[in-house]
Amino acid sequence: MANALTILFVDDEPSILSSLRRLFRPKGYQIHLAEGGKAALAILEQVAVDLVISDMRMPEMDGVQFLEQVRQRWPDTVRLLLTGYADISSTIDAVNRGEIYRYIAKPWDDHDIVVIVQDALAHQALVQENKRLQAVALRQNADLKAAHAHLEALVAQRSTELMAVNGWLKTANDQLKTNFLTSIKVFSALVELRGGNLAGHSRRVADLARRIANQLDLDSRHTHDIFIAGLLHEIGKVGFCDDMLGTAIVNLTPQQLDLYRRHPGRAEQLLTPLPDLKGAAELIACQLERFDGNGHPRHLAQDAIPIGARILVLASDYDNMQSGTLAKRQLSTDEARALVEKGRATRYDPKVLDALLAVLDAQAADRSQQDTVAEQIISARQLQAGMVLSRDLVTPSGLLMLSAQHVLDARMIHKIIDFERSAELTLCAHVLRTSNTMK
């Protein structure tokens, strides 16, 4: 129980507090009870509380006043409002002044209130992790600025070398601040850092989904949302245990399958508050729908399913079949292709499937040409300045280091080799074949 999450219930009716304690204590939470706002504030001053549920109508201090003080003094504590009154103005006041996460109507449904609390705590955990990552980024940015200032002091002695380093640092710093896609890729890697068959899956799905969208001649806005949805479509699995992440879908227990079917909805809840991700969130929410209407959660069919979601499910399934996440074993590309074709007009939109097959045929032709004419695989220590990457340079875990078509210079090559040494791994790069690489 040392690491159990702590919940504080505040209500002037002891019977309600007892009911809440009986409901939540078996869930593994540490429970505190308070029969009013003043008593609750005293508890908060002594105990670290993760979530507080307060009644709206209480003597001396109502729920609005109490939750406003909680927001001001303990802003990281999740705040929920329990009300049995149809008082819209009071509820709006509580939302505005107390910044509550949700309100729950009396009498509550036991299952619903447990799910709301679990979702609120999961949301808060993600918010705290995001704050931690932002703090790390700020520290790294400060380190970069300090390094930049130090390098400027040495310009007189080694001006050429320092100008190259300064240029690289400035570029990296600008990208850290302004590159939206970089932040999204880091966000999407949260699940994949757990390892296993997930490594690189989201990046591959995003790239394939974008190619399908281009094949269908969708506009740039839809294509962008589809690409972002591909990067983030697994984010709802953050709370899955390692055992469940490593189990093929066909081998999940009924309870695990029910949890699995909720991950698109959870992802939508996490992403919808971000305006720039609203379009992608809507696609992710529909990724388990089927073309014939037998999917989840809304049983949408055909054109009622957003075209981006129809693309996303096909791209994800095709990659999962080859990684062993969807089937009992890892399928070859030919086997995966044959299996998705069997899903025509049932699981998959026929026109989206035709677009995927066209993309796969084009990729096969491109690979054949690169393998025989224009591409060579070399180790990191064989890289030379001026070489051009023909494919993305990725780590064995699937994390992107450099994009295809990047022109390498001596400084970047040194950094690649240093990373290889410090991470104790071996990197191989696909480069365009030139007279230098053929020696």
CATH number at residue 378: 3.90.105
**If residue 269 lies in a helix (H) or strand (E), which one and from where to where?**
helix 254-271
Whether residue 184 is contained in a domain is answered as no
Whether residue 432 contacts residue 387, with contact meaning beta carbons closer than 8 Å, is answered with: yes
Whether residue 265 is contained in a domain is answered as yes
CATH number at residue 254: 1.10.3210.10
Whether residue 126 is contained in a domain is answered as yes
DSSP 63-107: HHHHHHHHHHH-TTSEEEEEE-S--HHHHHHHHHHH--SEEEESS
Whether residue 438 is contained in a domain is answered as no
Q: In whole angstroms, what separates CA 279 from the centre of its chain? A: 15
Residue 205 clears pLDDT 70, i.e. is over it: yes
Domain encompassing residue 208: 192-348
Whether residue 168 contacts residue 402, with contact meaning beta carbons closer than 8 Å, is answered with: no
Q: Mind listing the pLDDT tens digit for each residue in 308-340?
A: 888 988 888 888 887 767 666 778 888 888 888
Identify the pLDDT of residue 168.
54
Identify the pLDDT of residue 78.
92
Percent of all residues in the chain with a pLDDT value above 70, rounded to a whole number = 74
Residue 271 clears pLDDT 60, i.e. is over it: yes
Whether residue 116 is contained in a domain is answered as no
Identify the pLDDT of residue 171.
56
Domain boundary, last residue among 154, 178, 202: 178
| Mean pLDDT of the region 295-320 | 86
SS3 428: strand
Residue 185 clears pLDDT 70, i.e. is over it: no
Confidence of residue 359 (pLDDT cuts 50, 70, 90): confident
Identify the pLDDT of residue 178.
46
Whether residue 282 is contained in a domain is answered as yes
Whether residue 379 is contained in a domain is answered as yes
| Mean pLDDT of the region 101-107 | 84
Residue 236 clears pLDDT 90, i.e. is over it: no
Residue 7 clears pLDDT 80, i.e. is over it: yes
Identify the pLDDT of residue 145.
79
| Mean pLDDT of the region 374-401 | 75
| Mean pLDDT of the region 169-175 | 51
Taking the C-alpha atoms of residue 422 and residue 425, their distance in angstroms, rounded to an integer, is: 8
Please give the mean pLDDT across all residues of the chain: 78
